[in-house]
Amino acid sequence: MITIAAVNSKGGVGKTTLTSALAVRAAEDSPRVAMVDMDPQKSLVEWWKRRGKSDNPTIFEGAFTAGDAVEALTLDGWDYCLLDDPPAFLTLLQEMIEAADFTLIPVKASMVDLLATHDAVSLARTANALEYADVPRLALAMPVPCARSRSWLSLSTSVASGGRP
């Protein structure tokens, strides 16, 4: 199973939007895509309900931690697990980074948003989750207006090179 976490200690940077967009895209290729909404606001769950409670992608509930969710979904044979974190919960953010195969940090083009990425990058560095076998496991996701639609997504280069973002 491939597990991707969208994390940032700041709210309003697009974690839920990114998670839902990636889940819809993954569902085009895989019949077993699960989303885990760790945010107490449950915006991802609300999006899923408004979308018609689809079977793929679907919401996985019933796990207390991200690690528990990943373990349960792995044992049940899911192909993708997308984790959405709440802002300001650094312990949960670290747990999600540790449970994920790949971590995306959504960030908008402002100094405040860029500074907020420091928490996630530092936690990833502490968890040795910046790269594995020379393959980056962490990237910034910066929203960029698309000329043909209002969807936003552009992956930047890895921030694994060290230093503060």
Which residues are CB-contacts of 104 (< 8 A; sequence separation ≥ 6)? 4, 5, 6, 7, 18, 138, 139, 140, 141, 155
Question: Cβ of 54: how many Cβ atoms within 10 Å?
Answer: 14
pLDDT at 34: 97
Structurally, at CATH architecture level, domain 2-141 sits in 3-Layer(aba) Sandwich (3.40)
Supply the pTM of this predicted model.
0.79
CA gap 34, 81 in Å, rounded: 5
In tens, the pLDDT along 61-91 reads 988 899 999 999 999 999 999 999 988 778 8
The amino acid occupying position 143 is P
Q: For tokens 């709210």, what's the residue?
A: 11
pLDDT at 23: 95
- 97-120 burial: b if 16+ Cβ within 10 Å, else e: bbbbbbbbbbbbeeeebbebbebb
Confidence of residue 132 (pLDDT cuts 50, 70, 90): low
CA gap 11, 85 in Å, rounded: 10
Helix axes of 111-126 and 90-99: crossing angle, nearest 10 degrees: 60
